Amino acid sequence: MKYKTYKYSKTIRIWLLIGLIMLVGQVILGGITRLTGSGLSITKWDVITGVVPPLNDAEWIQEFELYKATPQFHKINSTFSIEDFKFIYFWEYFHRLWVRALGFIFLIPFLIFVFTKKIDSYLIKRLGLVVFLTILTASAGWIMVQSGLIDRPWVNAYKLTIHFVLAVMVIAAMVKTVADVYVFKSLKKVTSKKIVFWVLILTFFQLIIAGVISGMRAGLYYPTWPSMNGEFVPSVLLNSQHWNWGNMINYDSYLFAPALIQFTHRMLAYILLGSVLYMFFKLQKKVERTAKKWLNLSVVLVLVQVTLGILTVVNVKGKIPLFYGVSHQLVGLLFFMSLLFLHYSLRNKRV
């Protein structure tokens, strides 16, 4: 684009893109870890020594014994062999190794760029926010893991949601940084651009619900579409006596919360689909080339996302199908990012 004047070098711009891609990869690895039931396989958090996995049979047996003390082993995986354990250990270990690699790849160049004055105070502050949110996300992740090591065989759904939403906020902060560095803006004022903001808000709320539905494993209870086990509105939601906080807390033992969360997730998906299509027809002739690319991409992604959501539900066979579940999470995240980039591409102020 002719109006773009890059303030930062090509090296810094590529470095930031790599960081954004790695952040998305971290969230997706978290989804694989969750769907494979691997998140509780490593019972401790060693920042330094945890980089090295078990290297011999004695070390594997030691790790397996620690896992045997968890509620998940006693209540769900008591028939596990050490080979089964190695499979779930791999995903949790890879998940943790990836975030360590992300810190390494991100931190060292960051320090080099600061000392060589390749980045200014604005970018330092933006990246400082990314680092701060990343630390919060990691801390919430360990709190989440601890919630599944005492009494319960799964992590707490609400703590998982906090961990996931913080990860989304990290990516949102990084998207803003990339959009600024790549000078995403519009030369003309788009009067109808507020609709993008409201679609973003709706999408963010949908992501929160997605975190809760994942933590509650609510997708397992109603593996049908378009109905929910033959009903449009599950009957458990029509009884006012069920609407209490106790049922929301005891989601493992009562159907109300999973039914409410999955019903909400489905209705929001339909509303989002309609909103994005409306946004597309409202803006397609008013925006410039860069914004139009993000607008078109957002439409494609929301259509793919709805399709993947349906395929995920109807292919549930006692557990969420790994391919569809992970793809659904990835496309949902990419859809949110496309809306953010669209939003920043419609700015008129100087970046």
Name which of 66-80, 121-135, 158-172 the model is least confident about. Answer: 66-80
The maximal CA–CA distance of the chain, rounded, in angstroms, is 67
Number of domain units in the chain:
2
Query: What's 218's DSSP letter?
Result: G
Question: What's the one-letter identity of residue 245?
Answer: W
Name the more confident of 338 and 66: 338
Q: Given pLDDT bands bounded at 50, 70 and 90, which one contains residue 345?
A: very high
Whether residue 182 contacts residue 4, with contact meaning beta carbons closer than 8 Å, is answered with yes
- In the 8-state DSSP scheme, what is residue 284? T
Q: Same domain, yes or no, for 260 and 172?
A: no
Per residue in 202-240, pLDDT (tens digit) is 999 999 999 999 888 888 899 999 999 999 999 999 999
Same domain, 135 and 197: no
Which domain-ending residue is among 138, 168, 183? 183
Q: What percent of the chain has pLDDT over 70?
A: 94
Kindly state whether residues 313 and 174 are assigned to the same domain: no
Banded model confidence at residue 99, pLDDT cuts 50, 70, 90: confident
Q: Based on the domain organization, do 296 and 227 belong to the same domain?
A: yes
Do 58 and 147 sit in the same domain of this protein?
Answer: yes
Q: 32 is in which domain, residue-wise?
A: 1-183
Q: Residue range 24-37: average pLDDT?
A: 89
User: Which pLDDT band holds residue 16 (cuts at 50, 70, 90)?
Assistant: very high
Q: 197 and 161, same structural domain?
A: no
> Which range among 40-49, 115-124, 147-156, 275-284 has the greatest average pLDDT?
275-284
Reported confidence tier of residue 17, pLDDT bands at 50, 70, 90: very high
> Does pLDDT of 173 surpass 90?
yes
Query: In the predicted model, is pLDDT for residue 162 greater than 80?
Result: yes
235-257 tens-digit pLDDT = 999 999 999 988 898 888 889 99
- The reply to whether 108 and 149 lie within a common domain is yes
Is residue 161 domain-shared with residue 27, that is, in the same domain? Answer: yes
Length in residues, the chain: 351
Dump pLDDT digits (tens) for 62-72: 988 888 888 88
pLDDT above 60 for 335:
yes
What's residue 1's pLDDT?
Answer: 44
Q: Using 50, 70 and 90 to split pLDDT, how confident is the model at 179?
A: very high
User: Which pLDDT score is estimated for 96?
Assistant: 86
Cα(39)–Cα(96) distance, integer angstroms: 10
> DSSP readout, 52-79?
SPP-SHHHHHHHHHHHHTSHHHHHT-TT
What is the identity of the amino acid at 65?
Answer: E
**Residue that has been written with the tokens 């494979």 in this structure:** 36
In the listed set 150, 183, 216, which residue is the last one of a domain according to the structure?
A: 183
Same domain flag for 105 and 218:
no
pLDDT at residue 276 tops 70:
yes
Answer with the one of 156, 183, 210 that is the final residue of a domain: 183
* Same domain, yes or no: 99 and 82: yes
Phi, psi of 8 (to 5 degrees): -110, 155
Q: Is the pLDDT of residue 44 over 80?
A: no
Q: What per-residue confidence (pLDDT) applies to 317?
A: 87
Whole-number average pLDDT of the chain: 88
Is 0.85 topped by the overall pTM? yes
Tell whether 64 and 159 lie within a shared domain: yes
Helical spans, DSSP H, in the chain: 10-35, 57-68, 71-75, 82-115, 121-146, 157-181, 194-216, 245-249, 256-283, 289-314, 322-345
| d(C-alpha 344, C-alpha 92), whole Å | 35
In the predicted structure, residue 5 carries a pLDDT above the cut 70? no
Same domain assignment for residues 192 and 147: no
